[in-house]
Amino acid sequence: MNDTSRIKHTSLAARVMPAGQAASLIHDGMVVGASGFTRSGDSKAVLAAFAQKAENDHTRITLMTGASLGQGTDGALATAGAIAMRLPFQSDPVMRTIINEGKLAYIDENLSETAAHIRNGFLPPIDIAIVEAASVEADGSIVPTTSVGNSAIFVQQARQVIVEINQAVPVEIQGIHDVFLPEDPTGRAILPITDVWQRIGQDVITCDPQKIAAIVFTNQKDSPAETTSGNAAAEAIAGHLLQFFNREIAVGRLTPALRPIQAGIGKIADAVLGGLAQGDFQHLTMYSEVLQDSTFQLMDSGKMDFASGSSMTLSTECYQRVFADFENYRHKIVLRPQDITNAAEVIQRLGIIAINTALECDIYGNVNSSHIAGSQIVNGIGGSADFAQNSYLSIFVTESVTKGGKISRIVPMVTHVDHSEHDVDVIVTEQGLADLRGLSPRQKAETILEHCVHPDYHEELSGYFERACRRGGHTPHLLEEAFRLHTSLAETGSMKTPLLASI
């Protein structure tokens, strides 16, 4: 049953149609901007219907979103060959494979940048916006659901708008969004956020009702977040970080409120944030992208006062708990556009503690978050560089090894650099924590070798470092063997081959 009371602009009720009909508005070569951020608040019906249509008529589009979509939508679209270009982030295993095959042009962008690139005309103009909504207001304004992402800029710039009203989202969600569109195009407005809770915009996305070409009703929850429990490595990492924060408090650089926290995606970062519940912290806040289960656990335990993000991506259990008692949470959260959550200006001003996950780190503190063997993309850079570059403290977490120990995640030289040593203050593995602040490259290497490396790889990596130092340089490397661990992995299935018997 379509709850038409969710459409307060009366004449728009006439534009309600099935998803398939709305999808037929999307033609070959179009540029589509769709809502959705870390699988939340994404299009659940129209993009799926479009994937089906494209399988038959070979329509291909450019698809921009906030970040990753749920529901397997990216995979279905990629399989259908419906996507010529995709940006700025995806995390779908099927789409990833097709990207790595070179069949789909993927622009893996800093999440803060897409809105500016659209405004500046660095990206093609948007034909159609598809936005999930809780309701449409009397003036055509759109009430978003569990994410804001790039929805506001898409609606502002698109010629036509398709709204998906998701009845699975309670209308009470209205009010948790803070939508601000910077001025345009000659320079940007000051973003006057000086506290995580501060609102600077509206609680809806303004939309000219004339542009709304279709309204589709859905009734489907967001794809739930995957939860991890009992991960020993994550617990060890959380333990090291807790100790580190306690030392920082003891020397007076931090207080028990720490600073506003950003926590990235990946199993470890969420577990680490959950681990803060074990510490003597008070009045914690978040200024992050994704509000995860751990955010609400910290609120429930009374340790966290407020969280700002661009989406809520929760497990089924946490989602139910939060929406069953929404009045208890609504004044503790705000969802913003991703060019505000990830704005350099605000991240610097608030003095964020950023915690992101690395695929691999090198002995000098450079971090690869995106490419296996320098070539195969996993997800993309996402917002990690926005935060790493501008935070008060940029922390990267990772297990020291993966694949049963056959791969060391600390290597002589990373095969792809997403975050240079200048943007990495602390590296934590289950082995320990390396505090890299105020160190030169050689000192960083000594610290990382001492604290972060798995014992199985210690001799190998410190041997490399010593021999490189003998050759010299500010950041000593032996180019002819900088990737020998990686090529050995490719040849033998393990980095453990005894390479350096000759030392």
Ligand X SMILES: CC(C)(COP(=O)(O)OP(=O)(O)OC[C@H]1O[C@@H](n2cnc3c(N)ncnc32)[C@H](O)[C@@H]1OP(=O)(O)O)[C@@H](O)C(=O)NCCC(=O)NCCS
Active site members: 289
Task: Label the pairing between strands 261-263 and 353-357.
Answer: parallel
If one asks whether residue 408 binds a second copy (CB under 8 A), the answer comes out as no
Instruction: Tell me phi and psi for residue 333, to 5 degrees.
Output: -135, 155
Comparing CB distances to ligand X, the nearer of 33 and 383 is 383
Comparing CB distances to ligand X, the nearer of 257 and 378 is 378
At residue 202, the 3 state secondary structure works out as strand
At residue 48, the 3 state secondary structure works out as helix
If one asks whether residue 359 binds ligand X (CB under 6 A), the answer comes out as yes
- The interface with ligand X within residues 396-455 (CB under 6 A) comprises 402-403, 407, 409
Which of 42, 113, 360, 425 forms a contact with ligand X (CB under 6 A)?
360
The item of ligand X, a second copy, none sharing an interface with residue 133, based on CB under 5 to 8 Å by kind, is none
Comparing CB distances to ligand X, the nearer of 54 and 238 is 238
Q: Read off the amino acid at residue 329.
A: Y
Which of 28, 159, 437, 503 forms a contact with a second copy (CB under 8 A)?
437
Which of 227, 246, 315, 487 forms a contact with a second copy (CB under 8 A)?
487
The item of a second copy, ligand X, none sharing an interface with residue 292, based on CB under 5 to 8 Å by kind, is none
The item of ligand X, a second copy, none sharing an interface with residue 253, based on CB under 5 to 8 Å by kind, is a second copy
Which of 33, 75, 88, 382 forms a contact with ligand X (CB under 6 A)?
382
Only one of the segments 72-80, 174-182, 279-287, 369-377 lies at the binding site for ligand X (rule: CB under 6 A); that segment is 369-377
If one asks whether residue 379 binds ligand X (CB under 6 A), the answer comes out as yes
At residue 34, the 3 state secondary structure works out as strand
Give the integer Cα–Cα distance in Å for 371 and 377: 4
- Maximum CA extent, the chain: 80
At residue 399, the 3 state secondary structure works out as coil
If one asks whether residue 474 binds a second copy (CB under 8 A), the answer comes out as yes
Comparing CB distances to a second copy, the nearer of 317 and 471 is 471
The item of ligand X, a second copy, none sharing an interface with residue 359, based on CB under 5 to 8 Å by kind, is ligand X
Q: Which residues neighbour 9 within 8 Å (Cβ) at sequence distance 6 or greater?
A: 136, 137, 138, 139, 140, 209
Give the integer Cα–Cα distance in Å for 276 and 242: 7
**DSSP code at position 270:** H
If one asks whether residue 484 binds ligand X (CB under 6 A), the answer comes out as no
Element (H, E) at 285: strand 284-287
Give the integer Cα–Cα distance in Å for 432 and 455: 12
If one asks whether residue 274 binds ligand X (CB under 6 A), the answer comes out as no
- The interface with a second copy within residues 374-403 (CB under 8 A) comprises 374-377, 381, 385, 389-390, 392
- The interface with a second copy within residues 314-353 (CB under 8 A) comprises 343-345, 348-351
Per-residue binder mask for a second copy (CB under 8 A), 115-154, x = binder: --x--xxxxx------------------------------
DSSP H helices in 88-168: 93-100, 114-119, 151-157
Q: Which residues of 60-71 are buried (b: 16+ CB within 10 A; e: fewer)?
A: bbbbbbbbbbbb
Least distance from ligand X to the Cβ atom of residue 288, Å: 8
Comparing CB distances to a second copy, the nearer of 250 and 324 is 250
Per-residue binder mask for ligand X (CB under 6 A), 206-245, x = binder: ----------------------------------------
At residue 236, the 3 state secondary structure works out as helix
Supply angle C-alpha 40, 46, 51, rounded to 5.
Answer: 105
Percentages helix, strand, coil for the chain, rounded to the nearest 5? 35, 20, 45
Which of 280, 310, 278, 282 is CA-nearest to residue 294?
278
If one asks whether residue 109 binds a second copy (CB under 8 A), the answer comes out as yes
Q: What tokens were used for 328?
A: 């208890």
Only one of the segments 46-54, 102-110, 198-206, 266-274 lies at the binding site for a second copy (rule: CB under 8 A); that segment is 102-110
- The interface with a second copy within residues 266-325 (CB under 8 A) comprises none
Which of 417, 405, 409 is CA-nearest to residue 456?
405
Comparing CB distances to a second copy, the nearer of 78 and 236 is 78
Task: Label the pairing between strands 135-136 and 142-143.
Answer: antiparallel
Give the integer Cα–Cα distance in Å for 245 and 179: 33
Comparing CB distances to a second copy, the nearer of 121 and 498 is 121
The item of a second copy, ligand X, none sharing an interface with residue 402, based on CB under 5 to 8 Å by kind, is ligand X
Burial (CB < 10 A; 0-12, 13-18, 19+), residue 76, is: buried
Only one of the segments 8-16, 109-117, 292-300, 314-322 lies at the binding site for a second copy (rule: CB under 8 A); that segment is 109-117
Question: Which positions touch ligand X (CB under 6 A)?
Answer: 264-268, 289, 356-357, 359-360, 369-370, 372, 378-379, 381-384, 402-403, 407, 409
